[in-house]
Amino acid sequence: MSLEKEIKRRRTFAIISHPDAGKTTLTEKLLLFGGAIHVAGAVKSNKIKKGATSDFMEIERQRGISVATSVMGFEYGGVKINILDTPGHQDFAEDTFRTLTAVDSVIIVVDSAKGVEAQTLKLMEVCRMRSTPVIVFVNKLDRNGKDPFELLDEIEEQLKISVRPLSWPISMGPSFKGVYNMYHNNLNLFSSSDKQTIGDVVKVNDINDPAIDKFVAPFADKMREELELVNGCYPEFEIQDYLDGKLAPVFFGSALNNFGVQDLLDCFIDIAPSPRPIQAIQREVNPYESTLTGFVFKIHANMDPNHRDRIAFFKICSGKFERNTNYLHTRLGKKLKFATPTAFMAEKKSIIDEAFPGDIVGIHDTGNFKIGDTLSSGEDLQFKGLPSFSPLMFKYVENGDPMKYKQLAKGVDQLMDEGVAQLFTNKFNGRKIIGTVGALQYEVIQYRLLHEYGATCKYEPVNIYKACWIVSDNKAQLEDFKKRKYTNIAFDKHGRDVFLADSMYSLQMAQEKFPDVKFHFTSEF
């Protein structure tokens, strides 16, 4: 198959939402319809013994939440689909923000009872910044929730985007019957009582067909009225408006019970964009170029605990990636080749010989990569938009077992490379400080250090208001600032100077007294 055809059949997207909206459950059902798995797992359930495919870390299974982005690829209807299931919890938002740089479109999951929640708004902001096309899936209609029209108004108002329903629910809660697919003009009713495998689908092509009455009684008349109202109130679906990020198609369903999931998938492969041009610092990169370019957007340590391996998640932007071929690592300025590039199914990996734009390739990493690194066929390129944000919480990290000093140092070093948290070393006393965007990160780091590296750590409080990266063209002023604030100066993992302000007042005073020193709140400047 030609490069152009391979690119056109790729769909790379992220599933995002507030915690507990059903994101990972939806991922499972998409994998089920794609034939990638045969029985869908549960995120948290006492009855279902199979865990969710995308929640492969032990702590995710214990907590029933996703704490790391996982990548899953499968074929469906002649299309190669790459799903990135992201953490919904705000403490892991940075992982999700970076993941959104590696996708061409997004599915937002909204809980029908809770509506649009805080974390969804933040993630939508990131999508809006990049004009990423968005599809909304209103989930959990098997429970009583808000009226569909009320939900549509809320989505439109809160997410600041026009909406157009492409499927419509027939009742909700215990009397939920199914969904009418407005994109393909047919009615899907599920008669299977087994919630974990695909149910039977009854298809009726004309909404005014009296046969519908017996299937959806007593809701047939109400359904016809609501569909008429939808067609009168909402704009016609224009695919270009969706691709430009101006219009969000909305689907209704219940991921747990398979309602509406196939409608979403069938429409998605039809309308979602294949890989699109991406802006690098030097120029715009078109996916159809013959030379390879791509960037690392995530690093994960110990995906296979038996091998203590580090995997760099590499998004291909253009050209064809081939095994055992030399590629230029632009930051290091050296050529590297990869003998075992892998495709993902969460933590399961299979070695591949080639991959195309839109694909996410796992590259075995011995410490060559950091987040944001670019590989190319030879061109000196850097992709932008993969910042580390200034942390919101800070703690000293101390060794809990003097006999395990090396294990702790290695564990902290590798986990910080993942970008889940940031490590600062105070120049005054040499103590190490971990900065995160949420308290739950500390638990995850502690858990992973113990279970993956055999190292114990303890935390101590430290009074820091903000960490700012500092640079200046005025070397004398920068040196003067560092001398005066020497107890508050640290360096990050890459050796850059960081000012650890202990209060808003001290930060403001520093900015006023040292006008030539620039204070940056993200590491990308």
Per-residue pLDDT tens digits of the chain, which is 525 residues long: 688 999 999 999 988 887 777 777 888 888 887 765 544 444 433 333 344 544 445 555 554 444 445 678 888 888 998 888 766 445 455 667 777 888 899 999 999 888 888 778 878 887 887 889 999 999 988 888 899 999 999 999 998 999 999 988 888 888 777 788 888 877 776 554 544 444 455 666 666 767 677 667 777 788 888 888 888 888 889 999 999 989 999 999 888 887 888 888 989 999 999 999 988 888 899 999 999 999 988 887 765 556 566 788 899 999 999 999 999 999 889 999 998 888 875 446 678 889 999 998 888 888 788 888 899 998 888 887 555 667 888 999 999 888 888 989 988 888 887 777 889 999 988 999 998 877 878 888 888 888 888 899 999 999 999 999 999 999 999 999 999 999 999 998 888 899 999 999 999 999 999 999 999 887 654
Question: Whole-angstrom Cα distance, residue 166 to residue 268?
Answer: 11
Q: Is 201 helix (H, G, I), strand (E, B) or coil?
A: strand
Contact 189, 216 (CB under 8 A): yes
Question: Whole-angstrom Cα distance, residue 23 to residue 39?
Answer: 17
Question: Whole-angstrom Cα distance, residue 436 to residue 427?
Answer: 20
Full-model pTM = 0.77
Q: What angle do CA 383, 131, 293 make, to 5 degrees?
A: 25
Q: Which of 496, 504, 502 is nearest to 522 (CA)?
A: 496
Q: Which of 343, 367, 366 is nearest to 355 (CA)?
A: 343
Output the CA torsion sign for 359, 382, 325, 416. negative
Q: Which residues of 494-520 are buried (b: 16+ CB within 10 A; e: fewer)?
A: eeebbbbbeeeebbeebeeebeebebb
State both tokens at 55: 């929640």
> How far lies 481's CA from each of 206, 390, 486, in Å?
75, 20, 8
Q: Which of 64, 53, 65, 63 is nearest to 28 (CA)?
A: 53
Q: Which residue's entry shows tokens 């991406």?
A: 278
Burial, 369: exposed, middle or buried (Cβ in 10 Å; 0-12, 13-18, 19+)?
buried
Question: Whole-angstrom Cα distance, residue 116 to residue 155?
Answer: 6
Q: Which of 456, 345, 311 is nearest to 397 (CA)?
A: 456
Chosen CATH of 3-274 out of 3.60.110.10, 3.30.300.10, 3.40.50.300, 3.40.190.290: 3.40.50.300
Q: What is the pLDDT of residue 67?
A: 43
State both tokens at 422: 């940031």
Question: Whole-angstrom Cα distance, residue 414 to residue 297?
Answer: 15
Contact 72, 27 (CB under 8 A): yes
Question: Whole-angstrom Cα distance, residue 67 to residue 88?
Answer: 8
Q: What is the pLDDT of residue 520?
A: 86
H helices present in 160-283, as ranges: 211-216, 220-233, 239-243, 261-271
Q: What is the pLDDT of residue 304?
A: 59
State both tokens at 367: 């410490």
CATH 3.40.50.300 in the chain: give the residue spans: 3-274, 279-376
Strand 186-190 and strand 360-365: the pairing is: unpaired
Q: What number of other Cβ atoms are within 10 A of residue 412's Cβ?
A: 22
Chosen CATH of 279-376 out of 3.40.1650.10, 2.30.30.240, 3.60.15.10, 3.40.50.300: 3.40.50.300
Q: What is the pLDDT of residue 94?
A: 64
Top-level class of domain 393-520? alpha beta
> How far lies 93's CA from each of 67, 419, 524, in Å?
9, 11, 17
Q: Which helix (H) or strand (E) holds 362?
A: strand 360-365
CATH 3.30.70.3280 in the chain: give the residue spans: 393-520
> How far lies 233's CA from each of 8, 39, 158, 248, 373, in Å?
34, 40, 18, 15, 47
Residues composing the chain: 525
Q: Which residue's entry shows tokens 């492409």?
A: 166
> How far lies 332's CA from each of 142, 170, 313, 374, in Å?
53, 57, 18, 10
Strand 489-492 and strand 105-111: the pairing is: unpaired
The CA radius of gyration of the chain, in Å to the nearest whole number, is: 25
Q: What is the pLDDT of residue 203?
A: 62
